[in-house]
Structure 1
Amino acid sequence: MAKNKKGKNSGNSVLNALTEILNGMSPEEKMMLMADLENFASSGRSLGDVQETVYSYQRPDYTQQVKPLAEYLQHIFSAYMPSEILAAYDVAHREMASLSQQEQEEAMRNFFMFILADGLTRDFETDMEVSGLPIIAVFQLVDDFKLTGLFDVILETLKQNQSFYEFYYNGYEEATTLILAHVGVGHLEELKEMMKTDGFMPEVYPTVFNAVVQMAVENPSCRLQVLEWVTDVLKSCIDFTIPAMAMDWIVKSLAQIEAAELLPMIKNIYKKYSVPPVEIENGFKGITKLLTEGTDERVVMFTDFTEILNEFAEGEANDFDEDWLDFDNWPDEDEDDERDADALFYKECGLKPAKSKSGKSNSKSARKGK
């Protein structure tokens, strides 16, 4: 039998990975895949519909625990343009500086409970006059005053449904990763339990995983504790809450802390699930090099939450007009391999593509209620 010619490398990591997957499928499996795709297309269901069927968390009645917002926090909540949010943040910071830490924590907890209660009834699809960005400013306030006692309520915001998550967090996973890393120190067991529990939005799990790794990035003294956590999570969650296809992203995250100790387990995962290369070249040799030598690339590219708001404020100042948040109207740019790889990950998790670090998206921003 003549050898099959090896397909040419397209230069597109997504196409290469999909080609490798298809090449490993039998004709019958390919036919079944095509039938499944045709059925999905004809059903009229969106990826959002699929996500909602996956989501099964029973949200408590947050309205029983919420109080009216303090006036300075109401200003943050109702702010829309980045400059307005930054101005409201400055006022809130001054107000909170005069409070005791207990009062600060109570005020911030009530803010998060307010948006949780609001999220039970808000129609994020049609409400065009409210922005999801103010929560970024509130994360900065939590960081400013070291309010780590808010871990539980911040984690609760990650347990919400698709419309809530997209409105507040989609495209800003770096921000949620960083705040969770800061308030989650000392709560590794709770974070492990969340990783082992299905029924949340699929994109929450990589956020939690990256947050724990971020703890070791910022504080190397807890590295061994983080590696122990990662070991347990990978053993329990691969192909459960973490798709095996996501292993390249997992490895790139772990490369930040040179997690070479995990190489035997990671090799077994790649072999067991026949994980194709998506982000990392040269097979397991490339993985070994990356985990041994580490990387300067960071999952979280900033240290201050106001950097995000300032970036948008610069666009606002450059007269992007009132539709500055409608990312469909921004100029198109060539998408690099990293973006393509991200798209494949979201596809595997059943997600919509997230915005890039510049804030751009292929779909209209949820910040304006879509």
Structure 2
Amino acid sequence: MKKAKQQASKQLTPEQYIRQKARMLPVEDCFMTSDWEKVGESIVLVVRRHVKETYTIGVYLIDTFCLGLKDSYYYFSIDKIDYDNLLERFRRNESLEKISYNEAHNMIFGAIAFAEEAGITPSDSFELTQYLLEEDTEDVPLIEYDYGKNGEHFLCANNRLELNRYLPLLDKNLGKGNYHYIVNDEDAEYKDSMDWLENMEKMMERTASIPEEKYSYCHPEYPAVIRVKNDWLVSLFYDHRNACKLSEATVQKILALPHEELRIDLEQIILYETGCTCGQISESQWNTEYASVIIHCLLLLGALGDARSLPVVLETLCQNEDYYDYHFGDIVGEIYTYVLYRLGKEHLDELFAYLQIPGLYSYARYHIFPAVALIPFYQPERRDEVIDWFRKVLVFYAGRLEKQECCDGILVGLMTKDLLDLQAKELLPELKVLYGTDLVDTGCCGEYSEIEKEMLQGGDSDFRGSVLLDINEIYKKIG
């Protein structure tokens, strides 16, 4: 494989990312208002999951009686806590039911087509949010919904101004007498709902305004060719048919090799493949059938448990955003928590030294924290040691957060989730200093007052139960 030109990836704005990459993200969930046939309105949510374990959500406000797509907007790359909170808040105002992507797609495009019969085009916002949907082609199985009321367009105008806006279109395209209308005044519940949506949008705008650390890592020279003792491993890992899956028998066969020999082979493959993808990934690379080479090697190094491989693993965490999109998709968390816990749990100084490297990608740095936070769940006697380690990190960030040097507000916000799992109330003073800069992404865990309250109240965490520490179980999950 020819080495790709080494070049830092260009940072995309949320709008650019949605236009260029959103359709490459897997669809995680879809929801729709359950009583839409009765009320003639529906909210449709289409949720796509990022490699960094965050979610971009398209929200589509549908008038199934007449107007089609009235509005749409998005929440870009919010974390799991915010995603769950968002769904909860929607459910307070709407009766949502989980649906398939095909149902969501057909509801949206069907409503648009029905409105276009009356000369009504979708909201201008759809020019962007359409990219959170698949293209409307025959590849998406057709589902036919009944729009209108009794088969006819039925305009429910909020006021006379809105009525006067649409009547000429209805007359021209449908003809007088071929549609019906009523005029409703906006009620308080509707206004409350709109106020809530506006507040959520403001919160997301604030998150987007938080400055991120600029990626500037200068990597070493990586091997230009693969030199391994077991050539069959290369053939196995680069076969796209084995992407994200190896049978237990195959894993057992690999781990039966002399461990020192296997460790060196795996490290060499990782460094070679990293050299091929450490710069700007070419279009031909993106279009090549996926083979999870780095994933296989990392998981097997984790299974070996030899801490001498930790520097190579940390080198993979020094790469740019495209590297993680390309190699891991949406399963990066499962891989790194397992590997870093297995190799790094006795080497916290080495993990701390990695955090002091400037110019790294924050979502890569973050994977250190859940691995360290896992230690007290399996070794309770080490809790004080882990708390002291996190305190050292927080103190190190004080004064650097303002300069986005070795950290930024997104990283601190993400780390706070792991401190909540630890119920690390001992660290509240240090955490308060960072939140006092007003530079921490409060979209991750909320304002400092909320974090303090939750820590002081205490409670059990299910964090450990969500982490798999057996290589075969991980393969079953990601496969």
TM-score, with structure 1 as normaliser: 0.63
Q: Give the Cα–Cα distance (whole angstroms) in 2 for the partners of residues 104 and 254 of structure 1.
A: 36
Q: Is the 8 A contact 2:243 2:292 kept in 1?
A: no
Aligned to 2:216, which of 56, 59, 62?
Answer: 56
Q: Is the 8 A contact 2:236 2:242 kept in 1?
A: no
Q: Give the Cα–Cα distance (whole angstroms) in 2 for the partners of residues 263 and 308 of structure 1.
A: 34
Q: Is the 8 A contact 1:124 1:164 kept in 2?
A: no
* Aligned-residue offset at 1:103: 2.0
Q: Give the Cα–Cα distance (whole angstroms) in 2 for the partners of residues 12 and 290 of structure 1.
A: 29
Cα deviation per residue 1:181-213 (whole Å; 9 max; x = unaligned)?
211123322221222222122212211233222
Look up the equivalent residue of 1:225 and give its one-letter code: E
Q: Is the 8 A contact 2:217 2:359 kept in 1?
A: yes
1:193 counterpart = 2:353: yes
Aligned to 1:264, which of 419, 423, 429?
Answer: 429
Aligned-partner SS, 1:108: helix
* Aligned-residue offset at 1:262: 0.7
Q: Give the Cα–Cα distance (whole angstroms) in 2 for the partners of residues 60 and 274 of structure 1.
A: 32
Q: Is the 8 A contact 2:340 2:371 kept in 1?
A: yes
Change (3 A) 1:160 1:277: closer
1:15 counterpart = 2:201: yes
**Percent same amino acid at aligned positions?**
20
Aligned to 2:297, which of 129, 132, 138?
Answer: 138
Aligned-partner SS, 1:63: coil
Residue 230 (structure 2) aligns with: 70
RMSD (Å), alpha carbons: 3.7
Change (3 A) 1:8 1:163: closer
Residue 302 (structure 1) aligns with: 468
Q: Give the Cα–Cα distance (whole angstroms) in 1 for the partners of residues 387 and 446 of structure 2.
A: 24
Change (3 A) 1:291 1:139: farther
Cα deviation per residue 1:227-279 (whole Å; 9 max; x = unaligned)?
11211211222523332355443222112222111112222322332757434
* Aligned-residue offset at 1:171: 2.4
Residue 385 (structure 2) aligns with: 225
- Alignment map for 1:21-60 (pairs within 5 Å): 21=206, 54-60=214-220
Change (3 A) 1:65 1:183: farther
* Aligned-residue offset at 1:94: 1.0
Look up the equivalent residue of 1:153 and give its one-letter code: V
1:252 counterpart = 2:417: yes
Q: Give the Cα–Cα distance (whole angstroms) in 1 for the partners of residues 231 and 199 of structure 2.
A: 50
Cα deviation per residue 1:58-102 (whole Å; 9 max; x = unaligned)?
222222785146233113321224578414x743531431x3332
Q: Give the Cα–Cα distance (whole angstroms) in 2 for the partners of residues 13 and 211 of structure 1.
A: 34
1:126 counterpart = 2:284: yes
Aligned to 2:407, which of 233, 242, 250?
Answer: 242
TM-score, with structure 2 as normaliser: 0.50
Size of the aligned set, in residue pairs, is 278
Aligned to 1:156, which of 302, 309, 315?
Answer: 315
Change (3 A) 1:263 1:58: same
Residue 179 (structure 2) aligns with: none
1:213 counterpart = 2:373: yes
Residue 38 (structure 1) aligns with: none
Residue 116 (structure 1) aligns with: 274
Look up the equivalent residue of 1:267 and give its one-letter code: K
Change (3 A) 1:291 1:120: same
Cα deviation per residue 1:8-43 (whole Å; 9 max; x = unaligned)?
872798536347x59xxxxxxxxxx8xxxxxxxxxx
Change (3 A) 1:72 1:219: farther
Q: Is the 8 A contact 2:214 2:360 kept in 1?
A: yes
* Aligned-residue offset at 1:57: 1.8
Larger radius of gyration: 2
Residue 184 (structure 1) aligns with: 344
Q: Where is the helix percentage greater, Structure 1 or Structure 2?
A: 1
* Aligned-residue offset at 1:111: 2.4
Q: Which has the higher contact order (CA 8 A, sep 6+)?
A: 1
Q: Is the 8 A contact 2:391 2:427 kept in 1?
A: yes
Q: Is the 8 A contact 1:181 1:211 kept in 2?
A: yes
Q: Where is the strand percentage greater, Structure 1 or Structure 2?
A: 2
Look up the equivalent residue of 1:261 and give its one-letter code: E
1:290 counterpart = 2:476: no
Q: Is the 8 A contact 1:255 1:294 kept in 2?
A: no
Q: Is the 8 A contact 2:243 2:290 kept in 1?
A: no
Q: Give the Cα–Cα distance (whole angstroms) in 2 for the partners of residues 310 and 158 of structure 1.
A: 24
* Aligned-residue offset at 1:112: 1.9
Q: Is the 8 A contact 2:244 2:475 kept in 1?
A: no
